[in-house]
Amino acid sequence: FNKMGQKAYPSFYPHELIEKNEIDFQNSSIFPLSGLSNSKIILCSEGGIWIDYDSDKYGFNNSKEVYDNQIDIALIGDSYTEGVCVNQKDTISSKLNSIGLKSVSFGKSGNGPLIEFATFKEYVLPLKPKIVLWLYYENDLVELKRELRSSLLKKNINNINFSQNLISKQNQINLVLEEYIGKKILESQIIKKNKKNSFNPLSRNITNIIKLFNLRSLFKLNPGFDSEDIIAKKFIEIIDTTDQLISDWNGKLYFVYLPAYSKYSVGKDFGYYNSIIHIIKK
């Protein structure tokens, strides 16, 4: 696209900032929860064809005119909600729009419940749609464990009134992400070049360290990891608070459980189904 004179960007995912916590920019900091707005975004190529979309005014995968009327349905979630690796006309929100339900997606790949809650507060709360679809994927509790490392994200739970006011900061978000993505592209080019020119003797040790880390995670030996009951309590708090806020404007929350493909392909799942359904029913 760039060679043809059309500016394009790889997709940005908020979960990339969990360890960094936020991006410093012009004597301030920000934790973007969307992407570059009104831009050509390159997603991925699962089926051999590169998928791209033109982002909306807040940097999400929606058509430009989606905000022209009262929103019936707002979707919160991860890659399934964003529509990763499918054409824009085939996303869940586009399918809903095609049958006359004004729908907008605020999903980004890699999102877990805490980023989704923060996104809800920043973008859905001001719109007050009739319905909120919360699309839960089977690994979301794992994502929540990671997200709780971010002190900024945790402010959304600890203070119901906390907000970065992102919906009014899109120009700043665009400047921040252009710089951030530019640096990432440069870093990847340098890494690729170095890999071609030299062999890193540390690579095998790094692999072993990762394996050890995963093993320690299994037995909960890693510092900074919350116990499973704390994760569950935070999840309950997020869902309960979301439901209350939606009820305040007489809206309705629908919780959608999305099973992993591996559950049906090889009989492997994350084992949370019964617990999650029990929590939601309560």
* Spatial distance between the Cα atoms of 135 and 211, rounded to a whole number of angstroms: 31
Alpha-carbon distance 148 to 234, whole Å?
9
- Backbone phi and psi for residue 134, each to the nearest 5 degrees, phi listed first: -100, 110
Alpha carbons within 13 angstroms on the beta-carbon side of residue 270 total: 17
End-to-end Cα spacing for the chain: 50
User: Which secondary structure element, helix H or strand E, spans residue 233, and what is its range?
Assistant: helix 228-248
Quote the pLDDT of residue 18.
93
Separation between Cα atoms, residue 134 and residue 75, nearest integer Å: 6
Contact 137, 260 (CB under 8 A): yes
Residue pair 250/128 in contact by the 8 Å Cβ criterion:
no
Query: In the prediction, which pLDDT does 272 show?
Result: 80
Task: Single out the residue of 72, 101, 2, 84 nearest to residue 35, CA to CA.
Answer: 84
pLDDT score for 227:
61
Q: What is the pLDDT of residue 103?
A: 97
Backbone φ and ψ for 51, nearest 5 degrees, come out as -105, 135
pTM to 2 decimal places? 0.86
Q: Which of 123, 96, 129, 125 is nearest to 111 (CA)?
A: 123
What residues pair up with 40 in beta bridges, in sequence order? 8, 54
pLDDT at 52: 94
pLDDT at site 282: 86
Q: Give the pLDDT of residue 233.
A: 93
Per-residue pLDDT for the chain (282 aa), expressed as one digit of tens each? 989 999 999 999 999 999 888 888 777 789 999 999 999 999 998 888 999 999 999 999 999 899 998 999 999 999 999 999 999 999 999 999 999 999 999 999 999 999 999 999 999 999 999 999 999 998 899 999 999 999 999 999 999 999 999 999 999 999 999 999 999 889 888 888 887 776 554 444 444 444 444 434 443 434 444 467 889 899 999 999 999 999 999 999 999 999 888 888 888 777 788 889 998 998
**Are 94 and 54 within 8 A, CB to CB?**
no
Spatial neighbors of 34 by CB under 8 A, at least 6 apart, are 14, 58, 59, 60, 106, 108, 119, 123, 166, 170, 173
Distances (CA, A) of 249 to 32, 108, 128, 257: 26, 25, 7, 24
How far is the C-alpha of 87 from the C-alpha of 61, rounded, in Å? 10
